[in-house]
Amino acid sequence: MNNFSNIAVIGVGIVGASIAFHLARRGAKVTLINAGESGKKSAIQPATAVSFAWMNARDKNPRHYHLFNRRSLDMWARFVGWGGELRWASTDDGAREIVERAGVLQSWGYPIRLLSGEEVEALEPRLRPGVVTAASYTDIEGHADTGAVVGACVERLKEWGADIFFQTRVTDLARSGLDITAVVTDRGEIACDAVVLAGGADTAALAAMADIDVPVYYTFGCTILTESVPPVFENVSVVHSPRDCPPQTNFRQLPNGSVMLHGGAHGRVYDGGSLGQSDEEVQRVVDAVARVLPAIEGVRVREVRRGRRPIPKDGHPILGFAQQVPNLYLSVTHSGVTLAPLIGECAAIEILDGAQIDFLARYRLERF
Ligand SMILES: Cc1cc2nc3c(=O)[nH]c(=O)nc-3n(C[C@H](O)[C@H](O)[C@H](O)COP(=O)(O)OP(=O)(O)OC[C@H]3O[C@@H](n4cnc5c(N)ncnc54)[C@H](O)[C@@H]3O)c2cc1C
């Protein structure tokens, strides 16, 4: 059993919010600290605000990481638009990829099934998929309203008496011996007996304040929101356009009718100088989606959200106490929307009960 009861959580994206929620629910005194500009939109937003927020275990490998995502997916209950994910291919190579992946996922017990072109059109009559050489549908997937989830966690944390410091930037971590004793911010010091780092793409910089090297990089990503249109889907909640016909796009409709598009030039390292995805690239994504979803043809883009995806060096989460700093808990991951419920629950068990969860063993910092 740890003696941690006064815990500072740095970063209130979906991962930090979930961890804080689970800690406070168990009775811990929690202080939330988040930089960020409440009410103002900055050019680069936290990953959670930008996220496409597809909750899935479809493209997660190897099997242990697939199961980790599946477990978290099964924990989502509220704030979620279920309906499943649909994708198709237009070439023979693309068809092979879909069929092979469906076979692997089925052998892992994941409910994915293959569809014909006619079945795709019957499932979603407003799609114009063109040539369909293979298609798949995973009906247990969905998407989340990340703003609502984080907002609900923060509201509940307020009710439970958490201290909340927004627009507060952490500048250092004060230490005595190996342990952190206080979080130093631009508004003063906050004493604590344990610290959770959930700073997304900035986690490496935060960990460096405790002389810890966390191998996380980030890529630039954006999501594009259209003006509201009447309902475009009958059944599914997330669609991936053919991966064999660039540009690859994903799209989903939000409850307010806006269609969220995600795609374009991904995988770039953000260099601090450029926002990456140019207006021309944004337009390419819009045009590509309009070809298969005519309902958005000519519809105005209302907003483009740009942010960074935090990605640990091997693509898998980094979770748990850092060996060199025993009261510093690290939590950084891609697919943080899918994984937030499970990470929050596991972190609270490890922080408050002193337990070591066996299925997190692969995700420790020390593997690097
Ligand atoms: C375009 C895009 C699409 C994505 N699509 C999906 C998807 O479909 N499904 C999925 O599961 N995941 C997706 N992801 C990934 C997912 O969004 C992230 O893994 C998740 O949001 C990370 O959440 P987080 O809480 O760790 O980080 P963030 O949301 O980035 O939050 C970190 C917080 O830490 C704060 N912070 C940082 N440094 C400091 C400091 N020094 N002091 C105080 N506060 C600080 C920041 O202000 C920020 O609020 C996507 C990401 C992007 C960018």
* The pLDDT value given to residue 215: 96
Residue 286 to residues 86, 226, 227, 290, Cα–Cα distance (Å): 19, 9, 12, 6
* The pLDDT value given to residue 275: 45
- DSSP strand E in 160-300: where? 163-165, 170-176, 179-185, 188-191, 194-197, 216-228, 238-240, 249-253, 258-263
Give the containing element (helix H, strand E) for 49: helix 47-50
Residue 36 in contact with ligand 1 by CB distance below 6 A: yes
* The pLDDT value given to residue 139: 87
Instruction: Reduce the secondary structure of 143-201 to three states and give it as a string.
Output: EECHHHHHHHHHHHHHHCCCEEECCCCEEEEEEECCEEEEEEECCEEEECCEEEECCHH
Q: Which two tokens stand for residue 134?
A: 């293979």
- Ligand 1 atom having least distance to the Cα of 307: 53
* The pLDDT value given to residue 278: 80
**138: nearest Cα among 179, 177, 86, 79:** 86
How far apart, in whole angstroms, are the C-alpha atoms of residue 154 and residue 164?
A: 8
Question: What is the four-CA torsion angle of 100, 103, 109, 111, rounded to 10 degrees?
Answer: 80
Could you give all domains of the chain from N- to C-terminal order, each with its CATH number?
6-49+146-215+314-367 (3.50.50.60), 85-139+218-312 (3.30.9.10)
Task: Give the pLDDT confidence of 49-72 residue by residue, as tens digits.
Answer: 999 999 999 999 999 999 999 999
CA of 307 to the centre of ligand 1 (A): 8
Give the residue, by CA position, lying nearest to ligand 1 atom 21. Answer: 48
Give the residue, by CA position, lying nearest to ligand 1 atom 50. Answer: 51
Residue 335 in contact with ligand 1 by CB distance below 6 A: yes
CA of 206 to the centre of ligand 1 (A): 14
- How do strand 170-176 and strand 112-115 relate by DSSP bridges? unpaired
Residue 310 in contact with ligand 1 by CB distance below 6 A: yes
| Residues in the chain with pLDDT values less than 70 | 1, 37-42, 78-81, 264-277
Give the containing element (helix H, strand E) for 306: strand 301-312
* The pLDDT value given to residue 267: 54
How far apart, in whole angstroms, are the C-alpha atoms of residue 180 and residue 326?
A: 9
CA of 11 to the centre of ligand 1 (A): 9
Instruction: Describe the strand order of the beta sheet including 179-185 as a list of residue ranges.
Output: 170-176, 179-185, 188-191
CA of 350 to the centre of ligand 1 (A): 22
Residue 253 in contact with ligand 1 by CB distance below 6 A: no
